Every structure is written in structure tokens, then in C-alpha cells.
Amino acid sequence: MTNDRMPKDRVNDYSKAIIDERLEFLRKQSGSALEHIGNYTVDPEESKGNIENIIGFSQVPIGIIGPLLINGEYASGEYYVPLSTIEGAVVMSYNRGAKLITASGGAKTRVYRDGIQRAPVFILKDMDAAKAFTEFLTRNFAVLKSEAESTTSTGKLKDIQIFPLGKAVYVRLEYYTGDAMGMNMITKATMQLVSWILRNFPVEEYFLESNMAVDKKPSYMNFICGRGKSVTAEIVITKKNVERFLGTTPDKIFRMYRYGHIGCSMSGVIGGNLQYANALAAIFLACGQDLGNISESSTGANLVDLTPEGDLYFSVTLPSLIVATVGGGTSLPTQKNCLDIIGCYGTGKVMKFAEIVAASVLAGELSLCGAVCHEDWTASHEKYGRNRI
């Protein structure tokens, strides 16, 4: 360790000179040449607003799956989906699921709800004041809406849910945010709305967020009420294709699903799925989504059934999928490239992106069901998921 200090007070400097200076400090500190972190092809200036104190770019491999056939309202046709991961066998597994879906006529996808929340809490003098406050909020919805929407050309306040608790009132504000995930947009809008409240009602104290939003945490609230895009994908797969692609039967997958759901209940899992987080982490990383939101996005449940003909019905439902095709990390260079691969960069694309994510999640669930039922799980990880050490 040296006594040198990290260069200070220039957290928003993206020049090559400051990056070299920071790296030099870290080389001395760590005794490592750090020869890869500072080697990149993109312009660091492009990451302004996404990172501070920049020292370089991490290079995570990107694989591709497909063709994945989707019959959605917004996504229609065959897609090749980029997955960025360091877990061997993940891309193989999703690719097998994609091929099965395509051979079975495609996944049907639907977005059935859209809205993201900010949830301030207000502390009043006592519970009578809290009751009067809830009435005040309901009465003034139109004003609150117009105050919030004065800060954004895209955001719309859709709904207010009010939860009184003693002298406190928790307020869950739900917004439409277009193609952006919207948390910066609605934080600004909510601050404007709160300022109007403070001028018009005697509030003792408030906090802009009460944790009821519920941002970046798994919760029953998000699972039941939804957050971001609520999206579902379903498919019916013939007995023949289940045997051909997964080496098992619809019956066995159905029994596995029943025992798996009991396992989820016993362990307190919210929802019930096998590996939604794997698809989400890999697509989020490739396509410039906020990785912190994998937490609530992966809270979803499978529904598995047998048709009267003995074929397999399988659906995935993600009630709180947080995705964007505008803003956040979506215009970072490699991330934009990946969104371009699926035709999902920019305005008017977020619903299509949500459907592609759901269909990819379905591919992974089907493939892993096959691996667990057919017992080729360990073998495939041995073959693809082991590194040179």
C-alpha cells in the first residue's frame, strides 16, 4: 500500500488524463498492472450521467440465443437475443428453450399493466389530522396530477393509493413513464407534488420515499399490484416436442412443477420460478438496464398445466418488470448495440422489449425444467459451465 491519495474533487471528469491518473494510483495500491480495465473502445464521455469517478469499463462476454419466435402485441417474428453473463451453460440453456419455442409455433406475449411508483410518507399532528389529510389528497387528485406532470413532458400520474398508519400517511403514487424506466423522472415529479402539498396542508414532517415504492427489493406488494411492466408469456408444447427437445414428458414437468411450488411455499419464496433472474441479469447487463431492479423484476411465477390432449401448457408471469429503451444506461455504446440487435432502442420500443424479455424468460424456464427432469443438469454444467482455474 502506498500513501498516495486518489485524485479528488473531479468525480465528474471523464478525460483520459484523469482516468490514467486514477488507474496509476490503483496500480500502486494493488501491485497489479490492471492492463484490461483501462483498455476500451468507447468514449468515456458517453458514460456521463451513468457513473462517477470512472476508471474504465468492465468487459463481460455477450452470447446470443435464437431464433426465438414471438407472437406478441408488440414483438412479432424471430429474434436473436443478446445475453451477457459469466455463468457457463446459461446461453446453451436459453438457446435450447428458444429453439423449442420456435419449433412449437412461438411464444404468445402480452403486457397487461404499465406504471411505476414513488411512495412518500407524511407525518401529521395526530390520527385525526391523518384522516383529514387522506381526504385532502383524494379531493385534490387533479391538482396533484397537474403539479407532478408540470416537470415532465412524458410522465403522467395515473393513481394514488393511500395507506394511513396512526399519525402517518403512506402515499403510493403510480406514474406512466413512456419508454423510460422513469425513476429519475418521477422523483422530480413527486418532489414538485410534495412541495404543493406542503404549501397547502400542515404536515409536520415527510420523507420522499417510504420504501413502499418498492424499488430494488422483492415484495408481495410488487408481486400482487405490479411495478413497471406486468408481462406474461405462454405456450403449448406438444408431447412430441417436449420429448424431442427436453428428453422428458409433459407429465413429468407437471409433477416437478407441483413439488417445486410446495418447495417455494415451504421456503417462503415470493411467486415461484426456476431462474427468471438468470435471463434478466444477462439481458439487463447486455441492454443497459439498471441491474438493481433485477430484484423485483425476478419476482414472478410459472403456471404449468396439461391440455386434454396431454400436451404441456407453460406460462411465465413477471408482474414487476423494470425495463427501458430510453434513458438510464440504454444509450451507452455496447448497450445500445445490443438493443439494436433486437430492434428495441429508443422511442416506442419498451413494450416490445418487455415482451422479448418475457419470451426469453420462458425459454430458460422450459430448458431448465427439461434439465431437472432429464437429469442432464449436472452433465451440461460439467460440459459448458466449468472454467480453467
Q: Rule CB under 6 A: choose which of 184, 192, 275, 380 binds ligand NAP.
A: 184
- Considering the rule CB under 6 A, would residue 299 count as an interface residue with ligand NAP? no
Q: Which is nearer to ligand NAP, 147 or 179 (CB)?
A: 179
- Shortest reach from residue 113's CB to ligand NAP, in Å: 17
Catalytic residue flag (residue 381): yes
- Considering the rule CB under 6 A, would residue 183 count as an interface residue with ligand NAP? yes
- Shortest reach from residue 346's CB to ligand NAP, in Å: 7
Tell me how far the alpha carbon of residue 131 is from its chain's centroid.
36
Catalytic residue flag (residue 309): no
Q: What angle do CA 241, 242, 248 make, to 5 degrees?
A: 140
- Shortest reach from residue 291's CB to ligand NAP, in Å: 9
- In this chain, which stretch among 64-72, 276-284, 321-329, 355-363 interacts with ligand NAP, using CB under 6 A? 321-329
How many residues make up the chain in this entry? Answer: 389
Residue 344 CA to residue 353 CA, distance in Å, equals 6
- Considering the rule CB under 6 A, would residue 322 count as an interface residue with ligand NAP? no
Q: Name residues whose C-beta falls within 8 Å of residue 74's C-beta, 6 or more positions apart in sequence.
A: 109, 111, 351, 352, 354, 355
- Considering the rule CB under 6 A, would residue 280 count as an interface residue with ligand NAP? no
- Considering the rule CB under 6 A, would residue 228 count as an interface residue with ligand NAP? no
Q: Name residues whose C-beta falls within 8 Å of residue 125's C-beta, 6 or more positions apart in sequence.
A: 167, 202, 204
- In this chain, which stretch among 82-90, 157-165, 322-330, 380-388 interacts with ligand NAP, using CB under 6 A? 322-330
Tell me how far the alpha carbon of residue 306 is from its chain's centroid.
30
- The interface with ligand NAP within residues 339-368 (CB under 6 A) comprises 347
Of the residues 13, 21, 87, 376, which is catalytic?
A: 87
- Shortest reach from residue 57's CB to ligand NAP, in Å: 17
- The interface with ligand NAP within residues 120-179 (CB under 6 A) comprises 152-155, 177-179
Catalytic residue flag (residue 374): no
Residue 32 CA to residue 350 CA, distance in Å, equals 42
- Considering the rule CB under 6 A, would residue 187 count as an interface residue with ligand NAP? yes
Q: Which is nearer to ligand NAP, 283 or 324 (CB)?
A: 324
- Burial of 118 per CB tally in 10 Å (0-12, 13-18, 19+): buried
Q: φ and ψ at 173, to 5 degrees?
A: -100, 125
Active-site residues, by number, are 87, 290, 381
Q: Give contact residues for ligand NAP (rule: CB under 6 A).
A: 152-155, 177-185, 187, 215, 290, 324, 326-329, 347
